[in-house]
Structure 1
Amino acid sequence: MTWYEALILGIVEGLTEYLPVSSTGHLILTQWLLGLNADPQTEAAVNSFNIIVQAGAIAAVLGLYRQRVGQMIRGLLGRDEEGRRLALMLIAAFMPAAVLGVLLADPIERHLFAPWPVIAALAAGGLLMLGVARWRRGADEADGKEVEQIDLRMALLIGFAQCLAMWPGTSRSMMTIVAAFLVGLRPRAAAEFSFLLGLVTLGAATVYKSAQGGTQMVEQLGAFPILVGLVGATVSAALAVKWFVRFLTRNGLAPFGWYRLALSAVLAGLILSGVMEGF
């Protein structure tokens, strides 16, 4: 993998990680377009890269939400009660994925990392978001609970919803934001909790994948392309997060639902026509 291919993948990761469009689905498509799945060894290394490059997206949120992260750190040190409570709610929301992720990682990789499961997940997610947008039509975007008001029941419901995003093409951000809407959070709070939960979930996945195949990935791809990909993911994720919060508050989820349906239809048509043979 060249440095510019790593940069492209990093930018795609950063732009899509926190948007409800499925970063995994877009990375699989980009990987195919770049021809990085022809050789089994390269494909395995790039698959590891696609997980580890999430560290760039994590860095972006750490920077943008540094005050909130600092508050939670002070809370865990016993110096901020509100911060401690939010940190505990994030840990509770992470636990379902921590357990099910370990149990289901191999079966998911064997059976669901394929074109049609990804396309089905993209389409189903699009329909779900259009349904939620219809349900919320006319709602006052200023109404709803704030992040500080999340309780254990709400955190666990969001956490179990996040587990559905283990199906490639579903989108972790989509499931957590939809679940946050359903438990009564206002849009800005739903996005913030999704981003903060991503710090824990993506961080754990990055550490796990680094321990599993980090050395082999560096040997196969080289250190410089990985570094370039991380920088690309950090910058693009920071831009995407700042844009998304404003867009979600003003426009809701419907535009992303239509985008997912259009993308799934295009991909299905290309595969059926033979244009994307080998995807």
Structure 2
Amino acid sequence: MSTIQAIILAIIEGLTEFLPISSTGHMVLMSSYLGIENDKFTKLFEVCIQLGAILAVVVLYWKKFFDFSKWQFYVKLILAVIPALIFGKLLDDVIDEHLGNPAFIATVLLVGGVILLFVDNWFKKPTITEETDITNITAIKIGTYQCLAIMFPGLSRSAATIIGGMQQKLSRGLAAEFSFFLAVPTMAAATGYKLLKFISEEGSISSEEIKLLGIGNLVAFVVAVLAIKFFITVLNKYGFKYFGVYRIIVGIVILVTLATGTHS
């Protein structure tokens, strides 16, 4: 992976992390089209730079994250992240296998897009509009939706948890905000686990690889800072339908190119 390729992937990550269109799916597909080798470092890179994008949430919502007087907030995040930690560990090898399969990711993008066309009509009467009204049990239930994104790369962690929040009667805006918060411990844990696994298997991480990870995280962070508020505005105003249409188009285009041999 070259520095330019790392920057391109990081830009895509920053733009798509908070959209319900699967940042991982887009990075994997772009890696394929750029001819980046699907090796262990590429898989590590695609996970780790998501942490850079996620940290943009900490900066933009720093008052919320560092208000230690409201300890219940941290309890909810810890409880919500537990299901994903368990599933991520159990299905690690399966996840890596699917991440190398563009046809699988394209199919999940397509099916997920169809679902997004109808989501706004399914959850029209939210009753929870403030984070303080989210119970611990509700937080755990929302966290279980992350497991769907783990099992099906291309589904979108953001889409899964926002829809999960809406299913639990959260308003669309609050569901998106809680999804952002939940992503911080989730991706911190995923990054730490992937780094330790990579080092244990490869023996070390090279200075060049460290440089690429640093650049990738920095670029993803900056782009994500610019993208977050835009996404919240679009989601609150238009809902999920346009994201659904986008996913369907991308999924179909990828499957057609794969079927016709336009791209292997």
TM-score scaled by length of structure 2: 0.92
1:126 Cα deviation from its structure 2 partner: 1.0
1:160 Cα deviation from its structure 2 partner: 1.0
Equivalent position of 2:25 in the other structure: 25
Deviations 1:83-125 (A, max 9, x none): 2112111111111111111111112323564122212211121
Instruction: Say yes or no: does 1:157 pair with 2:141.
Output: yes
Structure 1: distance between partners of 2:166 and 2:199: 37
Segment drifting more, 198-207 vs 219-228: 219-228
| Aligned partners of 1:93 and 1:158 also within 8 Å | yes
Equivalent position of 1:145 in the other structure: 129
- Matched ranges for 1:46-65 at <5 A: 46-65=42-61
- The letter for the 1-side match of 2:52 is G
Q: Which of 33, 42, 45 is matched with 2:41 structurally?
A: 45
Q: Which of 140, 161, 183 is matched with 1:198 structurally?
A: 183
- Matched ranges for 1:106-125 at <5 A: 106-111=93-98, 113-125=100-112
- The letter for the 2-side match of 1:269 is V
| Aligned partners of 1:45 and 1:220 also within 8 Å | no
| Aligned partners of 2:53 and 2:224 also within 8 Å | yes
Equivalent position of 1:262 in the other structure: 249
- Matched ranges for 1:175-254 at <5 A: 175-213=160-198, 218-219=205-206, 221-254=208-241
Structure 2: distance between partners of 1:104 and 1:220: 30
Unpaired runs of 5+ residues, structure 1, are 75-79
Equivalent position of 1:77 in the other structure: none
1:144 Cα deviation from its structure 2 partner: 4.0
1:259 Cα deviation from its structure 2 partner: 0.7
Cα 1:199–1:170, aligned 2, differ >3 Å: closer, same or farther?
same
User: How many equivalent residue pairs?
Assistant: 261
1:198 Cα deviation from its structure 2 partner: 0.1
1:234 Cα deviation from its structure 2 partner: 0.4
| Aligned partners of 1:19 and 1:244 also within 8 Å | yes
Segment drifting more, 196-205 vs 53-62: 53-62
Unpaired runs of 5+ residues, structure 2, are none
Equivalent position of 1:87 in the other structure: 74
| SS of aligned partner of 2:90 | helix
Q: Which of 155, 160, 164 is matched with 1:170 structurally?
A: 155
| Aligned partners of 1:177 and 1:194 also within 8 Å | yes
Deviations 1:176-212 (A, max 9, x none): 0001111111122111100000001011001111112
Structure 2: distance between partners of 1:123 and 1:117: 10
Cα 1:140–1:157, aligned 2, differ >3 Å: closer, same or farther?
closer
1:135 Cα deviation from its structure 2 partner: 2.5
| Aligned partners of 2:51 and 2:184 also within 8 Å | no
RMSD: 1.9
Equivalent position of 1:11 in the other structure: 11
Equivalent position of 1:68 in the other structure: 64
Cα 1:230–1:214, aligned 2, differ >3 Å: closer, same or farther?
farther
Structure 1: distance between partners of 2:178 and 2:100: 27
Q: Percent identity?
A: 36
- The letter for the 2-side match of 1:193 is F
Equivalent position of 2:89 in the other structure: 102
